[in-house]
């Protein structure tokens, strides 16, 4: 596989030329930007978590030209095992330093919002939260993450390069990604997002993970944010929610690790729209473990599913009236040596034609308040909505129009 290092200016130009590229896959972090172009080989299959690492590794080993060749595959892994995992081994990969603002034009062509559909509606979501809390009080659940899906219909077809460049500009240090969800060039179905959350990174025998749980909406001024950070760090509800995630991830990683380092207390990280409690877990592996072996042991974490895992997953399946697809799944890369980096697919949306479906979730614990969790989801959705140029006013107007149309048709 050919790799070429280019300037950030050229990387931006390649993204702007997205429509002419062959099924490009973009992935970046705070250190590097990668644009994979073309497809030397594809892999698409529904897999159980225990089979994931071996199956993908066997496919990658078969692509090696010789023992010195180290092909890199990019992929998306779903929340539910019934949805196919999708991997592509590109023809060539362009690499640059991180893209930093300003990289997007100040003005994109106007694309008016026509319709808004939310699943579940607000009252149904609050009912699910209250039902989950009742199960926690009876001891069935410790935590469950409940999500909403917001589908927006626009006047004109959406352009992935516009949304991607805007997401990068607004969230330059996030895991920014744009992954094709169709195998045929021109079908135009994409997964795009700016995730703040690293599930697992592995290089040789070193690994790191950065779970996030416990959130506040970011304020406009630094003084307000300092006050919010202090509130978040001293919130028993948010600290409890965060501790559940960290403890579960430690337990999942322990069989693979010779050493694990975990801070005693979380810190706070900031995104373009949110503040999150954060714990950086690092360690050394006992042997030659594949990054996807670690990912399969961790995913889905209590940060996106709940605890106990089986009970939380069942509650999600029964209460969420939509399929998560790749939302709260994984997006990233791995190589033929078992190294790689995988972020959790949050603050993301699926784009197809004139439609954009964004999802966001909130962690529910026994002390949660339904109205507050509903607000948290709206705050998290703003990452995608702002990048798509959708204001709260436009969202409310389109929602009212959709409701009036449904009344007339009914």
- Just list the catalytic residues: 143, 197
CA nearest to 322, candidates 125, 85, 114, 47: 125
CA-based angle 176:86:340, to the nearest 5? 55
Element spanning 295, H or E: helix 291-298
Task: Tell the residue number behind the tokens 């280019």, with chain if given.
Answer: 6
Q: Residue 386 carries which DSSP code? A: H
If 0-12 CB within 10 Å is exposed, 13-18 middle and 19+ buried, where does residue 57 land?
A: buried
Q: What is the Cα–Cα distance from 84 to 90, expressed in whole angstroms?
A: 19
CA nearest to 148, candidates 181, 115, 122, 116: 122
Q: What is the Cα–Cα distance from 39 to 59, expressed in whole angstroms?
A: 14
Task: Tell the residue number behind the tokens 């993908």, with chain if given.
Answer: 56
Q: What is the Cα–Cα distance from 212 to 197, expressed in whole angstroms?
A: 6
């Amino acid at each position: 596989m050919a790799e070429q290092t280019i300037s950030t200016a050229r990387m931006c130009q390649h993204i702007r030329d997205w429509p002419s590229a062959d099924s490009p896959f973009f992935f970046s972090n705070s250190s590097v930007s990668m644009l994979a172009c073309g497809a030397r080989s594809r892999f698409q299959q529904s897999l159980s978590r225990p089979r994931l690492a071996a199956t993908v590794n066997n496919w990658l080993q078969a692509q090696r030209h010789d023992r010195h060749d180290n092909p890199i595959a990019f992929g998306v892994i779903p929340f539910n095992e019934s949805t196919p995992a999708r991997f592509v081994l590109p023809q060539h990969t362009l690499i640059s330093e991180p893209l930093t603002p300003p990289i997007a034009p100040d003005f994109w062509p106007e694309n008016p919002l026509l319709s808004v559909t939310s699943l579940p509606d607000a009252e149904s979501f609050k009912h699910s939260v209250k039902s989950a809390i009742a199960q926690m009080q009876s001891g069935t659940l410790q935590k469950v993450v409940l999500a909403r899906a917001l589908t927006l219909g626009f006047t004109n077809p959406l352009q992935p390069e516009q949304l991607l460049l805007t997401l990068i500009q607004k969230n330059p240090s996030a895991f920014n990604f744009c992954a094709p969800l169709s195998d045929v060039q021109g079908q135009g179905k994409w997964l795009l997002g700016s995730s703040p959350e690293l599930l697992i990174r592995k290089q040789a025998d070193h690994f790191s993970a950065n779970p996030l749980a416990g959130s506040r909406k970011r304020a406009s001024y630094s003084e307000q944010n300092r006050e919010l950070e202090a509130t978040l760090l001293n919130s028993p509800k948010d600290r409890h929610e965060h501790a559940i995630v960290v403890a579960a991830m430690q337990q999942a990683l322990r069989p693979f690790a010779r050493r694990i380092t975990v801070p005693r207390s979380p810190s706070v990280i900031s995104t373009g729209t949110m503040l999150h409690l954060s714990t950086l877990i690092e360690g050394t592996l006992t042997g030659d473990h594949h990054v996807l072996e670690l990912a399969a042991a961790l995913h889905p974490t209590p940060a996106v599913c709940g605890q106990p895992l089986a009970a939380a997953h069942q509650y999600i399946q029964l209460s969420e009236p939509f399929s998560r697809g790749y939302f709260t799944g994984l997006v990233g890369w791995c190589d033929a040596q078992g190294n790689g980096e995988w972020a959790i697919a949050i603050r993301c949306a699926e784009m197809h034609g004139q439609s954009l479906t964004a999802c966001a979730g909130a962690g529910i614990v026994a002390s949660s308040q339904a109205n507050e969790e509903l607000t948290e989801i709206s705050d998290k959705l703003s990452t995608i909505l702002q990048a798509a140029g959708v204001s709260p006013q436009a969202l409310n107007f389109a929602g009212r129009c959709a409701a009036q149309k449904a009344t007339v048709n009914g």
